[in-house]
Amino acid sequence: MKKKITIIGAGNVGATAAHWALARKLGDIVLLDVMEGIPQGKALDLLQSGPLDAFAGTVTGSNDYADSAGSDVVIITAGLARKPGMSRDDLLAKNVAIVRSCAETAVKHSPDCVMIVVTNPIDAMVHTAYKVSGLPKNRIIGMAGVLDSARYRTFLAEAIGVAPQDVNALVMGIHGDKMLPMVRLANVSGVPITELLSTERIEEIVKRTQMGGIEIVNHLKTGSAFYTPGLAAIEMAEAVINDTKRVLPCAAYLDGQFGISGYFLGVPVVLGEKGIEQIIEFKLTDDEKAALKQSVEAVSKQMEATGL
């Protein structure tokens, strides 16, 4: 039976995610938005690429949540995007209302879905969706670590002069300035990056990773990143749809792991058809614990600001 993915929000991230989902032949796609004509037009444009790309599945644009019924995966991208001078936290108040409405309505039509939240600030938005949707903690996930780790790997590969896919690197914590790019674990096909780059160069890359989103915002002026965020969401959705048990860094609800309880935070997880099937826990150094604590403090303030 063909799988079904609903993407809520037909802006740059949502439409790009729909494109990646079709390209990876994940099933039938519903592109949903409150703006009349926008999802329909973009869906039709994507559908017409079928003869050229030979994708398997359909793409439907809609303003009606009824068309999303029975979705295996729901991806929420709806919300305001950042502009130069804005932090992710500046989006919080308005995006809480948007994500709340999306999550509440979507789950009425797809009660068995796995929900992936992309809207910023992600750690607060996935908390919002969790509180209002009633979904179990394993079936609600924030997209952040996949994107942040991709940026980290890109910058490391560029500095070392190797293929990005040969760089293994993990970013944990909040999707924000207090994120934790793990230097100790980063390597190129098993060779530690500390053997390949100076301490100063690594520190520069860590800082650039932490500021990776705003670097793109400052270039674009009128929006934020969408190609890689869209693909990052689909990387997660593909693991759920195909039950591949991928280990990916995602914002997951922690219940004692890493000594943290009651927060969504970026950690490595096993993704399969049930959503988060396992959180990969390992020992942290004292410095890593301190850095992760800063993420928790930042997420705590965001959660309090949601009012949920």
Say if CB 259 and CB 272 are below 8 A apart: no
Say if CB 120 and CB 95 are below 8 A apart: yes
CA dist., res. 40 & res. 210, Å (int) = 36
CA dist., res. 32 & res. 114, Å (int) = 17
Say if CB 12 and CB 37 are below 8 A apart: no
In the residue annotation, 175 being an active-site residue is answered as: yes
List all residues 6 or more positions away from 253 whose beta carbon is below 8 Å from its beta carbon: 130, 137, 140, 263, 264
What strand order describes the sheet that includes 261-272?
59-62, 28-32, 4-8, 73-76, 114-117, 140-142, 246-255, 261-272, 275-279
CA dist., res. 145 & res. 269, Å (int) = 10
Residue of 19, 109, 175, 219 marked active site? 175
Q: Which of 263, 252, 280, 158 is nearest to 208 (CA)?
A: 158
Nearest-5° angle of CA 173, CA 179, CA 182? 85
Say if CB 113 and CB 106 are below 8 A apart: yes
Active site residues: 175
